[in-house]
Structure 1
Amino acid sequence: MPITPEHVGRSYPPTAPYRISRAKIAEFAAALGGSEGGDTNPAYAGENPMAPPTFAIVIGAQAWDALFGDEELGLALMRTMHADQRFDWVRPLREGDDVVAQLTIDKVRNRGNTDMVSISVALSTVQGEPLCTASSQLIHTRPQQEEQA
């Protein structure tokens, strides 16, 4: 059975804690900007560095494992396009934060062999402090034989 609107509201357990480190922040900032030498924003270095805003996807992507591992949904990462991404911030991620991510299915629309799935991943500290919500729109195609079934 493919994913349907009946799956809206399904949440998965939080991921294992991810420790934000100075080294990971520096690696991520260096990868931004490609061959131009990365993002040299001073906020990403120094005594109390914060992570670039898009660093949240590193942790959020771990929560996607539960979604794509849910056999009932029939989703395959290789047939999925990441169509849209939004981050709603409470506060920046900082060195020393231990962060967990919890994914929820927000909306599902099925059209032919295409599934449009909206998900949100809530990031919080292990103590429960909200940090960010990463919302994504996914477009998934099912094999043709499933459409006819």
Structure 2
Amino acid sequence: MAVNPDLVGREFAPTAPYLVGREKVREFARAVFADAPEHTDLEAARALGYADLVAPPTFAIVVQELTLRQLMSEPDSGIVLERTVHGEQRFRWTRPIVAGDELTARLSVASVRALGANAMVTSETAITDADGAHVVTATSVLVIGGAE
């Protein structure tokens, strides 16, 4: 099955709220070698004016991944995990993610582009806080290989 071009414009239900934990921020910072003290030291983060630890910028992928699961499990998508690679990632920030944030994400499909036997699916995930304020928009491009 080819990737369904009718995915373009499709919006998915918002995810359940994700509570950003202090230890998750520290673990992620270690995993991506983000060694700035505001990622691991509460006092350093507070000295910079934050209420809690500041997540490294790419932490947003943790929340976005919840929406990508929705897209990839859509029965009519034509997206096959075994033939999918992550081609590109971008973030557009309003503010940093901070431990204690309760974030909700909502994915929409921006484009589906044929590339020979393959397809490129671009999605945008808007991530908001508990007050509904925008935090970050994460844009992903998935490259899906054609049938063998």
- 31, 42, 45: which is aligned to 1:46? 42
Structure 2: gaps spanning 5 or more residues: 44-51
Paired amino acid for 1:40: D
1:72 aligns with 2:67: no
| Normalised TM-score (structure 2) | 0.87
Aligned residues: 139
Deviations, residues 55-107 of structure 1 (Å, cap 9, x unaligned): 00011011111101101011112211111110000000011110011111001
Structure 2 Cα separation of the partners of residues 126 and 42 of structure 1: 26
Structure 1 Cα separation of the partners of residues 81 and 130 of structure 2: 28
Paired amino acid for 1:15: T
Identity of aligned residues (%): 38
Verify the 8 A CA contact 1:85 1:137 in the aligned structure 2: yes
Q: Which residue of 1 aligns with 2:10?
A: 10
Verify the 8 A CA contact 1:4 1:109 in the aligned structure 2: no
Q: Which residue of 2 aligns with 1:94?
A: 98
Q: Which residue of 1 aligns with 2:61?
A: 57
Closer, same or farther: CA 32–11 of 1 in aligned 2, 3 Å: same
Verify the 8 A CA contact 1:11 1:103 in the aligned structure 2: yes
Paired amino acid for 2:42: G
Structure 1: gaps spanning 5 or more residues: 34-38, 145-149
Structure 2 Cα separation of the partners of residues 90 and 53 of structure 1: 11
Q: Which residue of 2 aligns with 1:31?
A: 31
Shift of 1:9: 0.7
Shift of 1:111: 3.4
Structure 2 Cα separation of the partners of residues 105 and 21 of structure 1: 29
